[in-house]
Amino acid sequence: MVAPGGGAGGGPSRWPAAEELDIVRKKVVDISGRDEQEVRVAACPYRICPLGAHIDHQGGVVTAMTINYGVLLGFVPSNGSEVLLQSGQFEGVIRFRVDDLQKPIDKPENINWESYARGAVYALQNSGYDLRKGIIGYISGVKGLDSSGLSSSAAVGIAYLLALEHVNDLVISPVDNIQLDKYIENKYLGLKNGILDPSAILLSRYGYLTFMDCKDCNIICQRRVGIICGFLSAKRLPVLFCMLQAAKIHQIYFAMLIQLYMRPRSVY
């Protein structure tokens, strides 16, 4: 399933674009030597939080919406339990096995891009899921938006969860995946994150603002958001975000001014 396509007249921008998916698939083909038709892509969007940012882990009521930028993880199942990953943003190659015993990160400064893949395995293992197959994959985010407050880490964690679940024939609900991603952040990485980020990524709907009660872990309601269509092109979104962050203007104004693209996660 793909978000509504764009075109003349300032309509919503399609994400991920066919060109983006093709690039990721070809990278996986180069890494794995497999046929392009075997490659699947997990697409996990970034999110903004108009109200309630940083209070989700305290049980507050928050709002969120996803945008048309995010993380793409192209992957094929490995022939055994090996995980082999490359990144569009970071150097090096990750190699480990899904049957390896994963130990939680002891210090925050030891967290790196490899940690999220290992954390996904750790969360699934410790939640009773049987992992027999690993993945060969290539993950890519949006350059310049890492550590920008758009939940890129949650998008990465969920992408790895979806890929591992797919190759191991695991059927896990979005609600359970929210808790699995929280497990990665809390138990493996040692961070005090709540459910805001994974809930926004996994439960948001196109054209809606998502309300959630983080104390009860329940989605309260979803309301359609009226936005000034065509006010800004999608390409200007990162620039506007940086400007507003620099000016310390509350994110509610950011939500009012941009064209929103509510995009649930998918595996293509």
Q: Does the pTM exceed 0.75?
A: yes
Q: Could you tell me how far CA 73 lies from the centroid of its own chain? A: 9
Q: What pLDDT band is residue 197 in, cutting at 50, 70 and 90?
A: confident
Q: What pLDDT band is residue 163 in, cutting at 50, 70 and 90?
A: very high
Q: What is the DSSP string of 199-224?
A: HHHHH--TTEEEEEETTTTEEEEEEE
Q: What is the pLDDT of residues 24-48, one digit of tens each?
A: 999 999 999 999 999 999 999 988 8
Residues classed as catalytic: 197
Query: What is the structure's pLDDT at 231?
Result: 31
Phi, psi of 229, rounded to the nearest 5 degrees: -65, 140
CATH of domain 18-47+68-203: 3.30.230.10
Query: What is the structure's pLDDT at 128?
Result: 95
Query: What is the structure's pLDDT at 188?
Result: 95
Ranges assigned E (strand) in the chain: 40-48, 61-77, 82-87, 94-97, 135-140, 208-213, 218-224, 266-267
C-beta of residue 65 within 8 angstroms of C-beta of residue 262: yes
Least-confidence region, from 130-134, 149-153, 176-180, 190-194: 149-153
CA distance 51 to 62: 6
C-beta of residue 181 within 8 angstroms of C-beta of residue 198: yes
The total of other beta-carbon atoms located within 10 Å of residue 148's CB is: 15
Q: Which residue has the higher pLDDT, 89 or 242?
A: 89
Q: What is the pLDDT of residues 63-74, one digit of tens each?
A: 788 888 899 999
Q: What pLDDT band is residue 207 in, cutting at 50, 70 and 90?
A: confident
- Name residue, tokens 């350059």: 143
Across the chain, mean pLDDT equals: 78
Query: What is the structure's pLDDT at 203?
Result: 86
Q: Which residue has the higher pLDDT, 194 or 128?
A: 128
Instruction: Give Cα separations from 147 to 33, 60, 210, 244, 262 (angstroms).
Output: 32, 23, 22, 15, 21
pLDDT higher than threshold 60 for residue 11: no
